[in-house]
A and B are shown apart, each in its own frame.
Chain A
Amino acid sequence: MIQVKNLIKVFGTKVAVDDVSFSVEKGEVLGFLGPNGAGKSTTMRMVTGYFRPTSGSVSLCGINMLEEPEQAKQRLGYLPENAPLYSDMTVASFLGFCAELRGLHGADRTRAIDRVLDLCFLDSVRNQSVDTLSKGYRHRTCFAQSIIHDPDVLILDEPTDGLDPNQKHEVRGMIKRMGQNKAIIFSTHILEEVEAACSRAIIIDRGKVVADGTPESLKKLVPGAKSLDEVFRSITKPDTAHKHAA
Protein backbone atom coordinates (compact mmCIF):
# COMPACT_ATOMS: atom_id res chain seq x y z
CA MET A 1 0.00 0.00 0.00
CA ILE A 2 2.96 2.31 0.53
CA GLN A 3 5.40 2.38 -2.37
CA VAL A 4 8.54 4.48 -2.02
CA LYS A 5 11.04 4.49 -4.87
CA ASN A 6 14.51 6.05 -4.96
CA LEU A 7 13.67 8.96 -2.66
CA ILE A 8 16.37 11.60 -2.44
CA LYS A 9 16.23 14.81 -0.43
CA VAL A 10 18.98 17.39 -0.57
CA PHE A 11 19.05 20.45 1.71
CA GLY A 12 21.51 22.90 0.20
CA THR A 13 24.59 20.72 -0.10
CA LYS A 14 23.56 18.22 2.54
CA VAL A 15 22.04 14.93 1.36
CA ALA A 16 19.54 14.11 4.12
CA VAL A 17 17.91 11.12 2.41
CA ASP A 18 19.93 9.20 -0.14
CA ASP A 19 18.11 6.84 -2.50
CA VAL A 20 15.66 5.19 -0.11
CA SER A 21 13.23 2.61 -1.50
CA PHE A 22 10.81 0.33 0.33
CA SER A 23 7.24 -0.83 0.28
CA VAL A 24 4.75 -1.68 3.01
CA GLU A 25 1.75 -3.93 2.48
CA LYS A 26 -1.56 -4.03 4.29
CA GLY A 27 -1.16 -5.85 7.62
CA GLU A 28 2.49 -4.86 7.96
CA VAL A 29 4.01 -2.67 10.66
CA LEU A 30 7.33 -1.26 9.50
CA GLY A 31 9.74 0.00 12.14
CA PHE A 32 12.00 2.81 11.05
CA LEU A 33 15.22 2.68 13.02
CA GLY A 34 18.22 4.92 13.01
CA PRO A 35 20.34 7.30 15.07
CA ASN A 36 19.34 10.96 15.44
CA GLY A 37 19.76 12.88 12.22
CA ALA A 38 19.68 9.73 10.09
CA GLY A 39 16.88 11.08 7.93
CA LYS A 40 13.85 9.28 9.42
CA SER A 41 11.68 12.37 9.82
CA THR A 42 12.73 13.76 6.45
CA THR A 43 11.72 10.50 4.74
CA MET A 44 8.37 10.52 6.54
CA ARG A 45 7.76 14.13 5.57
CA MET A 46 8.23 13.20 1.94
CA VAL A 47 5.97 10.16 2.24
CA THR A 48 3.24 12.35 3.77
CA GLY A 49 3.60 14.99 1.08
CA TYR A 50 4.88 17.73 3.38
CA PHE A 51 8.33 17.92 1.75
CA ARG A 52 8.71 17.68 -1.99
CA PRO A 53 11.40 15.07 -2.78
CA THR A 54 14.45 16.22 -4.72
CA SER A 55 13.79 13.12 -6.78
CA GLY A 56 11.98 9.82 -6.45
CA SER A 57 8.35 8.86 -6.11
CA VAL A 58 5.83 8.06 -3.39
CA SER A 59 2.50 6.38 -3.88
CA LEU A 60 -0.14 5.48 -1.30
CA CYS A 61 -2.80 2.90 -2.20
CA GLY A 62 -1.74 3.28 -5.80
CA ILE A 63 -2.19 7.08 -5.81
CA ASN A 64 0.87 9.14 -6.65
CA MET A 65 1.57 11.69 -3.88
CA LEU A 66 3.22 14.18 -6.23
CA GLU A 67 0.52 14.08 -8.90
CA GLU A 68 -2.65 13.84 -6.81
CA PRO A 69 -1.65 15.07 -3.35
CA GLU A 70 -5.18 15.68 -2.07
CA GLN A 71 -6.45 12.20 -2.94
CA ALA A 72 -3.33 10.52 -1.57
CA LYS A 73 -3.50 12.52 1.67
CA GLN A 74 -7.10 11.44 2.19
CA ARG A 75 -5.83 7.84 2.72
CA LEU A 76 -3.21 8.90 5.19
CA GLY A 77 -3.01 9.51 8.93
CA TYR A 78 0.11 11.28 10.21
CA LEU A 79 1.56 11.93 13.65
CA PRO A 80 4.41 14.46 13.17
CA GLU A 81 7.44 14.53 15.45
CA ASN A 82 6.74 16.35 18.75
CA ALA A 83 2.95 16.07 18.27
CA PRO A 84 2.06 19.67 17.30
CA LEU A 85 -1.35 21.01 18.38
CA TYR A 86 -3.25 24.29 18.06
CA SER A 87 -2.76 25.69 21.54
CA ASP A 88 -5.96 27.75 21.54
CA MET A 89 -8.34 24.81 21.07
CA THR A 90 -9.91 22.20 23.33
CA VAL A 91 -9.26 18.51 22.69
CA ALA A 92 -12.75 17.96 21.23
CA SER A 93 -12.72 21.07 19.03
CA PHE A 94 -9.25 20.20 17.73
CA LEU A 95 -10.41 16.70 16.78
CA GLY A 96 -13.56 18.19 15.26
CA PHE A 97 -11.48 20.51 13.08
CA CYS A 98 -9.32 17.61 11.87
CA ALA A 99 -12.44 15.52 11.18
CA GLU A 100 -13.90 18.31 9.04
CA LEU A 101 -10.72 18.59 7.00
CA ARG A 102 -10.96 14.82 6.48
CA GLY A 103 -14.42 15.32 5.03
CA LEU A 104 -16.42 14.14 8.06
CA HIS A 105 -19.43 16.31 8.87
CA GLY A 106 -22.54 16.23 11.04
CA ALA A 107 -23.25 12.92 12.77
CA ASP A 108 -20.20 11.22 11.18
CA ARG A 109 -18.01 13.88 12.70
CA THR A 110 -19.48 13.43 16.19
CA ARG A 111 -19.17 9.65 15.94
CA ALA A 112 -15.54 9.89 14.77
CA ILE A 113 -14.64 12.21 17.67
CA ASP A 114 -16.29 9.94 20.24
CA ARG A 115 -14.57 6.89 18.80
CA VAL A 116 -11.03 8.29 19.02
CA LEU A 117 -11.63 9.93 22.42
CA ASP A 118 -12.52 6.48 23.65
CA LEU A 119 -9.69 4.66 21.83
CA CYS A 120 -7.02 7.04 23.08
CA PHE A 121 -8.40 7.40 26.64
CA LEU A 122 -9.07 11.09 26.24
CA ASP A 123 -12.63 11.20 27.56
CA SER A 124 -11.64 12.86 30.82
CA VAL A 125 -9.96 15.82 29.06
CA ARG A 126 -12.53 16.21 26.31
CA ASN A 127 -13.22 19.88 26.96
CA GLN A 128 -9.85 20.84 28.35
CA SER A 129 -7.67 23.31 26.44
CA VAL A 130 -4.73 21.48 24.81
CA ASP A 131 -2.46 24.15 26.28
CA THR A 132 -3.00 22.78 29.77
CA LEU A 133 -2.53 19.08 28.93
CA SER A 134 0.40 17.03 30.16
CA LYS A 135 2.83 15.71 27.58
CA GLY A 136 1.31 12.22 27.46
CA TYR A 137 -2.16 13.62 26.82
CA ARG A 138 -0.88 16.03 24.16
CA HIS A 139 0.75 13.14 22.40
CA ARG A 140 -2.37 11.02 22.53
CA THR A 141 -4.50 13.92 21.26
CA CYS A 142 -2.29 14.26 18.20
CA PHE A 143 -2.31 10.49 17.79
CA ALA A 144 -6.11 10.53 17.96
CA GLN A 145 -6.12 13.07 15.14
CA SER A 146 -4.14 10.68 12.93
CA ILE A 147 -6.68 7.85 13.21
CA ILE A 148 -9.87 9.92 13.24
CA HIS A 149 -10.83 8.90 9.69
CA ASP A 150 -9.66 5.28 10.11
CA PRO A 151 -7.01 5.62 7.38
CA ASP A 152 -5.47 2.76 5.38
CA VAL A 153 -1.99 4.19 5.81
CA LEU A 154 -0.62 5.40 9.14
CA ILE A 155 2.67 7.20 9.56
CA LEU A 156 3.89 7.87 13.09
CA ASP A 157 7.06 9.82 13.81
CA GLU A 158 8.35 8.75 17.23
CA PRO A 159 4.91 7.92 18.63
CA THR A 160 6.26 6.88 22.03
CA ASP A 161 8.67 9.78 22.52
CA GLY A 162 8.27 11.37 25.95
CA LEU A 163 5.68 8.91 27.25
CA ASP A 164 5.98 7.05 30.55
CA PRO A 165 6.48 3.24 30.46
CA ASN A 166 2.76 2.49 30.87
CA GLN A 167 1.81 4.83 28.06
CA LYS A 168 4.57 3.42 25.85
CA HIS A 169 3.21 -0.06 26.39
CA GLU A 170 -0.31 1.15 25.60
CA VAL A 171 0.73 2.86 22.35
CA ARG A 172 2.74 -0.17 21.20
CA GLY A 173 -0.26 -2.38 21.80
CA MET A 174 -2.45 0.01 19.83
CA ILE A 175 -0.03 0.08 16.90
CA LYS A 176 0.16 -3.69 16.85
CA ARG A 177 -3.63 -4.06 16.93
CA MET A 178 -4.22 -1.49 14.18
CA GLY A 179 -1.43 -3.02 12.11
CA GLN A 180 -3.63 -5.99 11.35
CA ASN A 181 -5.64 -4.13 8.73
CA LYS A 182 -3.51 -1.10 7.87
CA ALA A 183 -0.09 -0.33 6.52
CA ILE A 184 1.88 1.39 9.30
CA ILE A 185 5.30 3.01 9.43
CA PHE A 186 6.66 4.25 12.72
CA SER A 187 10.04 5.59 13.63
CA THR A 188 11.83 5.07 16.90
CA HIS A 189 15.25 4.70 18.38
CA ILE A 190 14.08 2.32 21.06
CA LEU A 191 14.97 -1.15 19.87
CA GLU A 192 12.75 -3.22 22.15
CA GLU A 193 9.84 -1.36 20.56
CA VAL A 194 10.72 -2.84 17.20
CA GLU A 195 10.61 -6.37 18.56
CA ALA A 196 7.37 -5.66 20.42
CA ALA A 197 5.36 -4.11 17.59
CA CYS A 198 6.94 -4.52 14.14
CA SER A 199 6.63 -7.20 11.55
CA ARG A 200 9.55 -5.67 9.65
CA ALA A 201 12.24 -3.11 10.30
CA ILE A 202 14.48 -0.85 8.27
CA ILE A 203 17.67 0.57 9.69
CA ILE A 204 18.65 3.87 8.17
CA ASP A 205 21.94 5.64 8.70
CA ARG A 206 23.05 8.96 7.20
CA GLY A 207 20.21 8.88 4.73
CA LYS A 208 20.83 5.37 3.46
CA VAL A 209 19.00 2.13 4.15
CA VAL A 210 21.60 -0.17 5.70
CA ALA A 211 19.36 -3.12 6.66
CA ASP A 212 15.85 -4.29 5.84
CA GLY A 213 14.13 -7.40 7.19
CA THR A 214 12.17 -8.97 10.04
CA PRO A 215 13.56 -8.29 13.52
CA GLU A 216 14.70 -11.94 13.57
CA SER A 217 16.56 -11.75 10.28
CA LEU A 218 18.23 -8.48 11.29
CA LYS A 219 19.76 -10.24 14.29
CA LYS A 220 21.44 -12.73 11.98
CA LEU A 221 23.11 -9.93 10.01
CA VAL A 222 25.91 -9.54 12.49
CA PRO A 223 27.51 -12.82 13.48
CA GLY A 224 27.52 -13.35 17.21
CA ALA A 225 25.09 -10.52 18.01
CA LYS A 226 22.61 -11.55 20.69
CA SER A 227 20.30 -8.55 20.60
CA LEU A 228 19.04 -6.03 18.08
CA ASP A 229 20.91 -3.48 20.14
CA GLU A 230 24.28 -4.95 19.20
CA VAL A 231 23.26 -5.15 15.55
CA PHE A 232 22.20 -1.51 15.58
CA ARG A 233 25.46 -0.38 17.14
CA SER A 234 27.65 -2.32 14.78
CA ILE A 235 25.98 -1.24 11.53
CA THR A 236 25.25 2.43 12.28
CA LYS A 237 28.02 4.85 13.11
CA PRO A 238 27.68 7.07 16.15
CA ASP A 239 27.92 10.86 15.72
CA THR A 240 31.16 10.78 17.66
CA ALA A 241 32.84 8.14 15.44
CA HIS A 242 35.01 10.55 13.49
CA LYS A 243 36.27 12.11 16.71
CA HIS A 244 37.44 8.76 18.02
CA ALA A 245 39.13 8.05 14.73
CA ALA A 246 41.01 11.32 14.78
Chain B
Amino acid sequence: MSNRDIQNTKAVFKREFLAYFNSPVLYVIVVIFLLAAMGFPFFFSRILDSEDVSLTERFFVWHPWIYTVLAPAVGMRLWSEEHRLGTIELLLTMPVSPWQAILGKFFAASCVWLIGLTLTFPIVWTVCYLGYPDMGPIMSGYIASYLYALACLALTSAISAITRSQVVCFIVSVAFCIVIALIGDPGVTHTIVSTTPDWAAGFVRFVSYFSFMDHFFELTKGIFVFRDVFYFLSVIIVTLIITNLALRAKRA
Protein backbone atom coordinates (compact mmCIF):
# COMPACT_ATOMS: atom_id res chain seq x y z
CA MET B 1 0.00 0.00 0.00
CA SER B 2 1.43 3.33 -1.03
CA ASN B 3 1.00 6.72 0.52
CA ARG B 4 -1.17 7.70 -2.43
CA ASP B 5 -3.52 4.76 -1.78
CA ILE B 6 -4.07 5.93 1.78
CA GLN B 7 -4.54 9.59 0.84
CA ASN B 8 -7.04 8.83 -1.92
CA THR B 9 -8.99 6.32 0.16
CA LYS B 10 -9.08 8.85 2.98
CA ALA B 11 -10.32 11.63 0.69
CA VAL B 12 -13.16 9.46 -0.64
CA PHE B 13 -13.93 8.24 2.88
CA LYS B 14 -14.15 11.76 4.26
CA ARG B 15 -16.42 13.00 1.48
CA GLU B 16 -18.74 10.01 1.81
CA PHE B 17 -18.83 10.11 5.59
CA LEU B 18 -19.71 13.82 5.67
CA ALA B 19 -22.32 13.23 2.95
CA TYR B 20 -24.09 10.84 5.36
CA PHE B 21 -24.22 13.49 8.03
CA ASN B 22 -25.51 16.09 5.57
CA SER B 23 -28.50 13.96 4.69
CA PRO B 24 -31.52 13.33 6.92
CA VAL B 25 -31.60 9.67 5.85
CA LEU B 26 -28.75 8.81 8.20
CA TYR B 27 -30.47 10.22 11.29
CA VAL B 28 -33.72 8.47 10.43
CA ILE B 29 -31.93 5.15 10.01
CA VAL B 30 -29.92 5.44 13.23
CA VAL B 31 -33.04 6.35 15.21
CA ILE B 32 -34.99 3.43 13.74
CA PHE B 33 -32.06 1.14 14.42
CA LEU B 34 -31.85 2.22 18.05
CA LEU B 35 -35.61 1.94 18.56
CA ALA B 36 -35.60 -1.56 17.08
CA ALA B 37 -32.38 -2.81 18.64
CA MET B 38 -33.30 -1.52 22.10
CA GLY B 39 -37.08 -1.89 21.87
CA PHE B 40 -37.30 -5.52 20.77
CA PRO B 41 -35.35 -6.85 23.79
CA PHE B 42 -37.66 -4.99 26.18
CA PHE B 43 -41.04 -5.58 24.54
CA PHE B 44 -40.68 -8.94 22.84
CA SER B 45 -37.87 -10.61 24.74
CA ARG B 46 -38.97 -9.24 28.15
CA ILE B 47 -35.38 -8.62 29.12
CA LEU B 48 -36.39 -7.09 32.47
CA ASP B 49 -38.57 -10.00 33.59
CA SER B 50 -35.89 -12.60 33.29
CA GLU B 51 -33.24 -13.83 35.64
CA ASP B 52 -30.91 -14.50 32.75
CA VAL B 53 -28.72 -11.50 31.99
CA SER B 54 -26.98 -12.78 28.87
CA LEU B 55 -27.72 -10.70 25.79
CA THR B 56 -27.39 -13.40 23.13
CA GLU B 57 -30.97 -14.66 23.11
CA ARG B 58 -32.65 -11.34 23.72
CA PHE B 59 -30.61 -8.61 22.08
CA PHE B 60 -28.31 -9.95 19.34
CA VAL B 61 -30.91 -12.39 18.07
CA TRP B 62 -32.82 -9.49 16.50
CA HIS B 63 -29.87 -7.94 14.73
CA PRO B 64 -29.78 -9.98 11.50
CA TRP B 65 -33.38 -9.01 10.77
CA ILE B 66 -32.79 -5.37 11.56
CA TYR B 67 -29.73 -5.30 9.29
CA THR B 68 -31.61 -7.03 6.50
CA VAL B 69 -33.69 -3.87 6.12
CA LEU B 70 -31.45 -1.11 7.44
CA ALA B 71 -28.02 -1.97 6.01
CA PRO B 72 -29.32 -1.69 2.41
CA ALA B 73 -30.87 1.66 3.37
CA VAL B 74 -27.41 2.92 4.37
CA GLY B 75 -25.54 1.32 1.47
CA MET B 76 -27.94 2.07 -1.38
CA ARG B 77 -26.55 5.54 -2.05
CA LEU B 78 -22.92 4.44 -2.35
CA TRP B 79 -22.74 3.94 -6.14
CA SER B 80 -26.33 4.46 -7.32
CA GLU B 81 -26.08 8.12 -6.43
CA GLU B 82 -22.81 8.49 -8.39
CA HIS B 83 -24.50 6.95 -11.44
CA ARG B 84 -27.58 9.14 -11.09
CA LEU B 85 -25.69 12.41 -10.68
CA GLY B 86 -23.10 11.48 -13.31
CA THR B 87 -20.32 12.21 -10.81
CA ILE B 88 -18.95 8.71 -11.39
CA GLU B 89 -17.49 10.08 -14.60
CA LEU B 90 -15.72 12.74 -12.56
CA LEU B 91 -14.53 10.33 -9.88
CA LEU B 92 -13.18 7.68 -12.24
CA THR B 93 -11.32 10.16 -14.46
CA MET B 94 -9.45 11.44 -11.42
CA PRO B 95 -6.13 9.74 -10.65
CA VAL B 96 -7.97 7.38 -8.30
CA SER B 97 -8.03 3.63 -8.70
CA PRO B 98 -11.44 1.94 -8.47
CA TRP B 99 -10.26 0.10 -5.35
CA GLN B 100 -9.39 3.29 -3.52
CA ALA B 101 -12.89 4.58 -4.25
CA ILE B 102 -14.63 1.30 -3.37
CA LEU B 103 -12.82 0.99 -0.05
CA GLY B 104 -13.20 4.66 0.86
CA LYS B 105 -16.95 4.40 0.37
CA PHE B 106 -17.26 1.06 2.13
CA PHE B 107 -15.32 2.30 5.18
CA ALA B 108 -17.57 5.37 5.36
CA ALA B 109 -20.71 3.22 5.45
CA SER B 110 -19.00 0.90 7.97
CA CYS B 111 -18.31 3.83 10.27
CA VAL B 112 -21.96 4.78 10.19
CA TRP B 113 -22.82 1.34 11.58
CA LEU B 114 -20.06 1.55 14.13
CA ILE B 115 -21.73 4.68 15.44
CA GLY B 116 -25.18 3.06 15.43
CA LEU B 117 -23.93 -0.02 17.24
CA THR B 118 -21.96 2.01 19.78
CA LEU B 119 -25.11 3.94 20.67
CA THR B 120 -26.71 0.71 21.93
CA PHE B 121 -24.46 0.82 25.01
CA PRO B 122 -27.35 1.52 27.43
CA ILE B 123 -28.45 -2.08 27.00
CA VAL B 124 -25.08 -3.26 28.33
CA TRP B 125 -25.50 -0.88 31.25
CA THR B 126 -28.94 -2.28 31.90
CA VAL B 127 -27.80 -5.89 32.14
CA CYS B 128 -24.80 -4.89 34.24
CA TYR B 129 -27.20 -3.12 36.58
CA LEU B 130 -29.51 -6.16 36.73
CA GLY B 131 -26.80 -8.71 37.40
CA TYR B 132 -23.33 -9.87 36.56
CA PRO B 133 -23.25 -10.78 32.87
CA ASP B 134 -20.34 -12.56 31.28
CA MET B 135 -18.52 -9.90 29.25
CA GLY B 136 -16.99 -12.41 26.79
CA PRO B 137 -20.22 -13.29 24.96
CA ILE B 138 -21.22 -9.63 24.93
CA MET B 139 -17.98 -8.69 23.18
CA SER B 140 -18.17 -11.50 20.65
CA GLY B 141 -21.88 -10.73 20.15
CA TYR B 142 -21.00 -7.19 19.18
CA ILE B 143 -18.28 -8.42 16.83
CA ALA B 144 -20.68 -10.90 15.21
CA SER B 145 -23.33 -8.23 14.89
CA TYR B 146 -20.91 -5.75 13.31
CA LEU B 147 -19.57 -8.34 10.86
CA TYR B 148 -23.12 -9.21 9.86
CA ALA B 149 -23.85 -5.54 9.18
CA LEU B 150 -20.67 -5.15 7.13
CA ALA B 151 -21.50 -8.22 5.03
CA CYS B 152 -24.96 -6.76 4.25
CA LEU B 153 -23.35 -3.40 3.41
CA ALA B 154 -20.80 -4.95 1.05
CA LEU B 155 -23.61 -6.86 -0.67
CA THR B 156 -25.56 -3.61 -1.08
CA SER B 157 -22.44 -1.90 -2.44
CA ALA B 158 -22.19 -4.51 -5.20
CA ILE B 159 -25.84 -4.05 -6.16
CA SER B 160 -25.63 -0.25 -6.07
CA ALA B 161 -22.76 -0.45 -8.57
CA ILE B 162 -25.18 -1.92 -11.10
CA THR B 163 -28.17 0.40 -10.85
CA ARG B 164 -28.67 4.15 -10.86
CA SER B 165 -31.88 3.85 -8.88
CA GLN B 166 -31.57 3.80 -5.11
CA VAL B 167 -35.04 2.29 -4.78
CA VAL B 168 -34.19 -0.65 -7.05
CA CYS B 169 -30.91 -1.12 -5.19
CA PHE B 170 -32.73 -1.13 -1.83
CA ILE B 171 -35.37 -3.67 -2.83
CA VAL B 172 -32.94 -6.05 -4.53
CA SER B 173 -30.48 -5.82 -1.64
CA VAL B 174 -33.14 -6.54 0.97
CA ALA B 175 -34.25 -9.55 -1.08
CA PHE B 176 -30.68 -10.84 -1.21
CA CYS B 177 -30.18 -10.31 2.52
CA ILE B 178 -33.39 -12.22 3.31
CA VAL B 179 -32.42 -15.13 1.07
CA ILE B 180 -28.92 -15.38 2.46
CA ALA B 181 -30.27 -15.28 6.02
CA LEU B 182 -32.97 -17.88 5.39
CA ILE B 183 -31.03 -20.53 3.47
CA GLY B 184 -29.37 -21.64 6.70
CA ASP B 185 -32.56 -21.81 8.75
CA PRO B 186 -32.86 -25.43 9.97
CA GLY B 187 -36.61 -25.44 9.22
CA VAL B 188 -36.15 -24.16 5.68
CA THR B 189 -33.25 -26.51 4.97
CA HIS B 190 -35.23 -29.47 6.31
CA THR B 191 -38.26 -28.65 4.15
CA ILE B 192 -36.16 -28.33 1.03
CA VAL B 193 -34.15 -31.47 1.74
CA SER B 194 -37.34 -33.50 2.24
CA THR B 195 -38.78 -32.33 -1.09
CA THR B 196 -35.67 -32.81 -3.18
CA PRO B 197 -34.29 -36.10 -4.45
CA ASP B 198 -31.52 -37.69 -2.44
CA TRP B 199 -28.72 -36.79 -4.79
CA ALA B 200 -29.56 -33.09 -4.41
CA ALA B 201 -29.79 -33.12 -0.62
CA GLY B 202 -26.04 -32.83 -0.21
CA PHE B 203 -26.09 -29.82 -2.48
CA VAL B 204 -28.84 -28.15 -0.42
CA ARG B 205 -26.84 -28.74 2.76
CA PHE B 206 -23.79 -27.35 1.04
CA VAL B 207 -25.64 -24.20 0.01
CA SER B 208 -27.08 -23.78 3.49
CA TYR B 209 -23.54 -23.62 4.77
CA PHE B 210 -23.28 -20.23 3.07
CA SER B 211 -26.02 -18.69 5.19
CA PHE B 212 -25.06 -15.73 7.34
CA MET B 213 -27.22 -17.04 10.19
CA ASP B 214 -25.23 -20.12 11.21
CA HIS B 215 -21.99 -18.25 11.35
CA PHE B 216 -23.63 -15.40 13.18
CA PHE B 217 -25.03 -17.63 15.93
CA GLU B 218 -21.80 -19.55 16.30
CA LEU B 219 -20.08 -16.25 16.97
CA THR B 220 -22.69 -14.86 19.37
CA LYS B 221 -22.47 -17.96 21.54
CA GLY B 222 -19.27 -16.47 22.79
CA ILE B 223 -16.92 -18.96 21.28
CA PHE B 224 -14.81 -16.69 19.17
CA VAL B 225 -14.34 -18.96 16.21
CA PHE B 226 -11.83 -17.86 13.62
CA ARG B 227 -13.66 -19.86 10.96
CA ASP B 228 -16.80 -17.75 11.31
CA VAL B 229 -14.92 -14.46 11.34
CA PHE B 230 -13.09 -15.64 8.26
CA TYR B 231 -16.42 -16.50 6.65
CA PHE B 232 -17.75 -12.95 7.05
CA LEU B 233 -14.49 -11.40 5.91
CA SER B 234 -14.51 -13.51 2.76
CA VAL B 235 -18.13 -12.55 2.01
CA ILE B 236 -17.11 -8.89 2.31
CA ILE B 237 -14.05 -9.30 0.09
CA VAL B 238 -15.93 -11.26 -2.58
CA THR B 239 -18.81 -8.75 -2.75
CA LEU B 240 -16.37 -5.84 -2.99
CA ILE B 241 -14.62 -7.62 -5.87
CA ILE B 242 -18.04 -7.97 -7.52
CA THR B 243 -18.53 -4.22 -6.98
CA ASN B 244 -15.31 -3.62 -8.88
CA LEU B 245 -16.34 -5.91 -11.74
CA ALA B 246 -19.78 -4.29 -11.94
CA LEU B 247 -18.25 -0.82 -12.12
CA ARG B 248 -15.93 -1.96 -14.87
CA ALA B 249 -18.77 -3.55 -16.83
CA LYS B 250 -20.77 -0.32 -16.55
CA ARG B 251 -18.10 1.66 -18.35
CA ALA B 252 -17.25 -1.15 -20.75
A binds B: yes
**With A51-B251, A100-B11, A105-B7 given, is the CB distance from A73 to B87 under 8 Å?**
no
Q: List B contacts of A97 (CB < 8 A).
A: 11, 14-15
Contact status A84-B22, CB under 8 Å: no
Q: List B contacts of A145 (CB < 8 A).
A: 90
Which B residues from 238 to 252 make CB contacts under 8 A with A?
251-252
Contact among A76, A93, A98, A103 for B7, CB-based, below 8 A: A103
The 8 closest A-B pairs by CB, nearest first: A84-B86, A100-B11, A73-B95, A74-B95, A101-B94, A48-B93, A80-B89, A88-B22
Q: List A contacts of B8 (CB < 8 A).
A: 100-101
User: At the interface, yes or no: B1 with Cβ under 8 Å from chain A?
Assistant: no
Contact among B4, B15, B96, B251 for A89, CB-based, below 8 A: B15
B17 vs chain A, min Cβ distance (A) = 12
Q: List A contacts of B252 (CB < 8 A).
A: 51-52
**With A85-B85, A87-B85 given, is the CB distance from A50 to B92 under 8 Å?**
yes
Provide a sorted-by-A list of 21 A–B residue pairs whose CB atoms are within 8 angstroms: A48-B93, A50-B93, A70-B97, A73-B96, A78-B93, A80-B89, A80-B90, A80-B93, A85-B87, A86-B15, A86-B85, A87-B85, A88-B19, A88-B22, A89-B15, A93-B18, A97-B11, A98-B90, A102-B95, A103-B95, A145-B90
User: At the interface, yes or no: B23 with Cβ under 8 Å from chain A?
Assistant: yes
- A59, B39: Cα distance in complex, Å: 60
**With A88-B23, A101-B8 given, is the CB distance from A76 to B93 under 8 Å?**
yes
Q: List B contacts of A51 (CB < 8 A).
A: 251-252
Contact status B94-A98, CB under 8 Å: yes
Contact status B93-A49, CB under 8 Å: yes
Which residue of A51, A84, A93, A142 has the most chain B CB atoms within 10 A of its CB atom? Answer: A84
Residues of A within 8 A of B (CB): 45, 48-52, 69-71, 73-74, 76, 78, 80, 82, 84-89, 93, 97-98, 100-103, 105, 142, 145
- A71, B252: Cα distance in complex, Å: 21
A52 vs chain B, min Cβ distance (A) = 7
Contact status B93-A73, CB under 8 Å: yes
Against A, the Cβ 8 Å flags (1 = close, 0 = not) of B64-102 are: 000000000000000000000111011111111100000
Contact status A52-B90, CB under 8 Å: no
Against A, the Cβ 8 Å flags (1 = close, 0 = not) of B215-251 are: 0000000000000000000000000000000000001
Q: List A contacts of B23 (CB < 8 A).
A: 88
**With A73-B94, A98-B94, A103-B7 given, is the CB distance from A86 to B251 under 8 Å?**
no
Contact status B90-A71, CB under 8 Å: no
Q: List B contacts of A82 (CB < 8 A).
A: 86
Contact status B93-A84, CB under 8 Å: no
A112 vs chain B, min Cβ distance (A) = 14
- A244, B14: Cα distance in complex, Å: 56
- A177, B119: Cα distance in complex, Å: 55
Q: List A contacts of B14 (CB < 8 A).
A: 97
Q: Which residue of A lies closest to B90 (CB)?
A: A84
Which residue of A69, A74, A101, A142 has the most chain B CB atoms within 10 A of its CB atom? Answer: A101
Contact status A45-B22, CB under 8 Å: no
A78-B90, A89-B19 known; 13 other A-B pairs, CB under 8 Å?
Answer: A49-B93, A50-B89, A70-B96, A74-B95, A80-B93, A82-B86, A86-B87, A88-B22, A97-B11, A100-B11, A101-B12, A102-B95, A103-B7
**With A85-B87, A100-B7 given, is the CB distance from A70 to B95 under 8 Å?**
yes
**With A97-B11, A101-B8 given, is the CB distance from A84 to B94 under 8 Å?**
no
B96 vs chain A, min Cβ distance (A) = 5
- A142, B91: Cα distance in complex, Å: 12
